Amino acid sequence: MDLTFTKEEEEFRRRLRTWLRETLPKLPAKPPPDQWPARRAYDCAWQRALYDAGYAGLHWPTDAGGQGATPTQHLIFLEETELAGAPYVGANFVGLLHAGPTIAVEGTAEQRARWLPPILRGEEVWCQGFSEPDAGSDLASLRTRAVRDSDAYIVTGSKIWTSHAEVADWCELLVRTDASAPRHRGISWLAMPMDAPGVTVRPLRTLAGSTEFAELFLDEVRIPLSHRVGAENDGWRVTMVTLSYERGTAFVGEVVACRRTLARLARTAKENGRWDDAVLRRRLGRLNAEFGALWRLTQWNVSAAERTSPGGGSAVPGVGGSVFKLRYSEARQELYEAAAEVIGPEALDAGHPWTADRLSALSYTIAAGTSQIQQNIIAERILGLPKGR
């Protein structure tokens, strides 16, 4: 394992910093929260700027339209864009970080040619149809069914916690294609057009007041067989590729953001006198060590992915992503609990940005698989403990 950067990687960092320094001041103001059509337009325009500059799909294989950069260069990209205050990936989150990488690895040549270029150019937005009302993070319990009818599947069921469904063009959808198969089999991974007849989107408002999530209701939606990624009934394996990206690299930029928030917390505490509290100082110091360790763990995971794929571009993050996700989601909650202690009564002000972040932090121990799911993965696949029932 080598966590140092090569001369080529440092040169890549220098060029990226220069481009960010020249580009970011020219960006328009970001639209307010919950104005999703405007937010989609803003996020897609930023993605187009990255594409034109050669930074879109950085670590995707070149034959999938990417730049063929190493996972380490991708890590540098995530770190530098966050440090520079560049726009978050936003509405393009699922397409760029989940669906796109999965199609790049598991899709046919025709599927890669159809779906990947519009994702990279910021022309088509994807959402994720994995969670169901009665299944939660237990994806093997999903009940949305797909029945073959000639050259298509007829899909009926419902999904929940579907991010950005209101403005999405496509959905990465898990369906049960063999009801008689064991729980982890008989599942298929489909690409569903969101404008297909029978698709209904109902927005949800979260505890934090945001509306980026929605419910999906699917009433005999017709999806061509050619939209299935991977073999029929092999969707569980394909989904593990998707989740490896989600847990392995999708939260990397947010670790950098948490470290910046922690620095602001320390400054605020010094300004309002809370810094005199030795217990609070120790708490902030421990969090600083936690996020530093998480960043090193990320580098370790990326290094491991590069070892398993010497070519770099299509490396799939390993199960170490579950260790990262488990601890990161808990540390994020602890960070905003500390923020509430620093700002005192202001924490009750719903308009304070740290109040909204504190409320939304609760969801991080559920999103991308609950902490209990991550503990099971760590126990079974890393520690080699017996599988639970």
Q: What DSSP character marks residue 149? A: E
Q: Which amino acid is at 184?
A: H
How far apart (Å, rounded) are the C-alpha atoms in residues 302 and 71? 6
Cα–Cα dist 161/136, whole Å:
9
Phi-psi region of 353 (alpha: psi -120 to 50; beta: other; left: phi over 0): alpha
Catalytic residue among 246, 271, 306, 346: 246
Contact residues for 374 (Cβ-Cβ < 8 A; gap 6+):
247, 322, 323, 325, 326
Catalytic, 106? Answer no
The answer to whether 200 and 219 are in contact (CB under 8 A) is yes
- Distance between CA atoms of residues 42 and 53, nearest Å: 17
- Rounded to an integer, what distance in angstroms lies between the CA atom of residue 55 and that of residue 77? 8
Pairing of strands 213-224, 228-229: unpaired
Is 116:65 a contact under the CB 8 Å cutoff? yes
Exposed/middle/buried for 333, CB within 10 Å: 0-12, 13-18, 19+? middle
**Under 8 Å between Cβ of 202 and 125:** no
Active site residue ranges: 246
